A and B are shown apart, each in its own frame.
Chain A
Amino acid sequence: MRQPMAVAGTEAVEALEVHRPLPAREWVVSLLVFALAWELASLFFPPYAVPGWARIGSRLLALRADFVAVTVVRVFGALGLSFLLGVGGAVIFYRWQVLERYVMPLVKLLMAVPVVCWILFAVLWFRGTEARIAFVLVVVCAPIFLIDVLDGMRGVGREWREMLLSFRPTSFQFFTKLILPATLPVILTSWKINLSLAIRVVTMAELVGATSGIGYGLVVAQELFSVADVFAWTVVLVLILLALQAGVTGIERRVLRWRD
């Protein structure tokens, strides 16, 4: 049975305060104020400009659930691939720093290219919708995983590395027993950042040439001049992002419970 032993130091207490989530009460109050202000605005403006909550709610129920599923699958598929490429690249660069010195300038160059340019390149270079969307997501997210994970690996303390090396591990053991677990907090933070980015990028990519997904739903709503539909899709996007972030935070709490 676990027993509390040492009194947490000042550092630990400060860290807990920094990571403390926003209190639920403050969330509820700020959201209610916004909802109320929107509803009030809907009384003074025509429904095609500022629709009331009842109208938005009815549109929410009418949205195509399969579009939501398609977008989520696209995000996870592309993020999974980006993660594998990012971690793979980070491991290679960690081992062969010479390679890093030559390749990293190109990676940083890729990261400076605006998303909209990647979308246009994707339209010009690829025929299939899925290939286009996957390309845009991977080219945007993989470098972020790469840089975050590599930084995390490099940040593993010399003291730990020496301690583990004193037991003479194989390279594989060195990575699995030290480098990867020590980098896990950075990896999870990178997932949170990339999830938020991917949701926005996938929507933009779906705006161009897709015939399914939330981005396509937004295009249709725009063509129909339906602000209620645009707003409903926006609510869905925000909810998906919050749910995914909550999922990662839950995983974080579980696998990083040693930090509590």
Chain B
Amino acid sequence: MDAYIQVRSLRKIYRQKGSGASVVAIERLDLEVAQGEVVAIVGQTGCGKSTFLNILIGLERPTAGELRIDGRLPYEDFFAFRGRIAAVFQQDRLLPWRTALENVALGLEILGIPLVRRRALAEEWLERVGLGPFRDAFPNELSGGMRQRVALARAFAVDPDLLVADEAFGHLDEVTAHQIRREFLRLVREQGKTAVFVTHQIEEALHVGERVVVFGKPATVLADLRTSEVGGAGASVREWIQRVLTENRRPADGVPGREAEVRSGREEERG
């Protein structure tokens, strides 16, 4: 059966406005994600993770190669994915002139859900993220953690098939980030969503993902491992990922705790 997300030889090259020089953001990226899988992508800052997510969401067109979701191209078939993809960004990106409830209802408005149903859904999602009493608060009246919860509710409210999170909790303090990360995972599992979670923190990637994909710079898959197979977020696994990131090349050795294969690009090439 075909994977839900298929990425084949994806490349993205930007031309810098000032100098006209070309910058390679993504280089021959191959990746597959099954439906219902929760994948964490970890990579250094500026490695092209966000560019990859923008292509995944359908906001940018790849320079070469292709990315398909459920067999369709998210940029070209833009409106085919209406209500099927939702994103949580690094900053909450709430609209300051809308109350918490109105922000949660934003995606539902775009989908044309009738007012009564829309309000009920938005209220339900605000309750689920624990912000029921703050429905009429404007974003500037909420703390950073609360705002990010509203952003979570906004994404989940449209009931998407695919959830994309771009460094979604990276700017929060560790206690708040931990709470919201747990909330995010609970909702993803409860709703059976496919989720792609991008982060530069190895610890977070190992905590969130059933599968951790290590991106090089420019973005290409250096390593791909299942957390269940490597015994979770042990120190040796963290150090191994750190070494892969630092060396910025596909690892010669296997990941600790898994003697067999490391599904790195090199091994796939060998196979």
Which residues does A use to contact B, with CB under 8 Å? 1-6, 8, 12, 159-160, 162-169, 173, 177-178, 181-182, 184, 256, 258-259
A167 to B107, CA, bound (A): 6
A32 to B133, CA, bound (A): 50
Interface centre among B98, B133, B137, B158 (most CB of A within 10 A): B137
Sorted nearest first, the 8 A-B pairs with minimum C-beta distance are A163-B93, A258-B138, A168-B82, A166-B87, A167-B107, A167-B110, A6-B143, A169-B110
- Point out the residues of chain B lying under 8 angstroms from A6, CB to CB: 140-143, 146
Q: List 28 interface pairs A-B (beta carbons < 8 Å), by A numbering.
A: A4-B141, A6-B140, A6-B146, A159-B89, A159-B91, A162-B54, A162-B93, A163-B89, A164-B106, A165-B59, A166-B57, A166-B59, A166-B86, A167-B82, A167-B158, A168-B81, A168-B83, A169-B110, A173-B109, A173-B110, A177-B110, A178-B95, A181-B97, A182-B97, A184-B97, A258-B97, A258-B139, A259-B140
Contact with A along B15-58 (1 / 0, CB 8 A): 00000000000000000000000000000000000000010011
- Point out the residues of chain B lying under 8 angstroms from A2, CB to CB: 136-137, 141
- Point out the residues of chain A lying under 8 angstroms from B86, CB to CB: 166-167
A179 to B139, CA, bound (A): 18
Q: Which of the residues A3, A169, A258 comes within 8 Å of B140, measured between beta carbons?
A: A258
CB neighbors of A among B235-268 (8 A): none
A1 to B58, CA, bound (A): 39
B: contact size bracket: 35 or more
Taking the closest CB of chain B, its distance from the CB of A258, in whole angstroms, is 4
Residue of A nearest to B107 (CB): A167
CB neighbors of A among B92-147 (8 A): 93, 95-98, 106-107, 109-111, 133-134, 136-143, 146
Contact A5 B134, beta carbon cutoff 8 Å: yes
Interface centre among A1, A167, A177, A258 (most CB of B within 10 A): A167
Contact B106 A168, beta carbon cutoff 8 Å: no
- Point out the residues of chain A lying under 8 angstroms from B14, CB to CB: none
Which residues does B use to contact A, with CB under 8 Å? 54, 57-59, 78-79, 81-83, 85-87, 89, 91, 93, 95-98, 106-107, 109-111, 133-134, 136-143, 146, 158, 164
A258 to B139, CA, bound (A): 8
A160 to B141, CA, bound (A): 19
Number of A-B residue pairs with CB-CB distance less than 8 Å in the complex they form: 81
A163 to B78, CA, bound (A): 14
Interface centre among B81, B106, B146 (most CB of A within 10 A): B106
Residue of B nearest to A159 (CB): B93
Taking the closest CB of chain B, its distance from the CB of A55, in whole angstroms, is 50
A165 to B107, CA, bound (A): 10
A1 to B141, CA, bound (A): 13
Q: Which of the residues A3, A163, A258 comes within 8 Å of B87, measured between beta carbons?
A: A163
Q: Which of the residues A8, A159, A177, A184 comes within 8 Å of B106, measured between beta carbons?
A: A177
A169 to B108, CA, bound (A): 11
- Point out the residues of chain A lying under 8 angstroms from B109, CB to CB: 173, 177
Contact A3 B133, beta carbon cutoff 8 Å: yes
A181 to B97, CA, bound (A): 8
Contact B93 A160, beta carbon cutoff 8 Å: yes
7 more A-B residue pairs beyond the given contacts A5-B137, A159-B89, A166-B87, with a C-beta to C-beta distance below 8 A: A2-B137, A8-B140, A163-B89, A167-B86, A167-B107, A168-B83, A184-B97
A173 to B58, CA, bound (A): 18
A39 to B71, CA, bound (A): 84
Contact B54 A5, beta carbon cutoff 8 Å: no
Taking the closest CB of chain B, its distance from the CB of A198, in whole angstroms, is 27
Contact B137 A167, beta carbon cutoff 8 Å: no
- Point out the residues of chain B lying under 8 angstroms from A164, CB to CB: 106, 110
Contact A168 B110, beta carbon cutoff 8 Å: yes
- Point out the residues of chain B lying under 8 angstroms from A163, CB to CB: 87, 89, 93
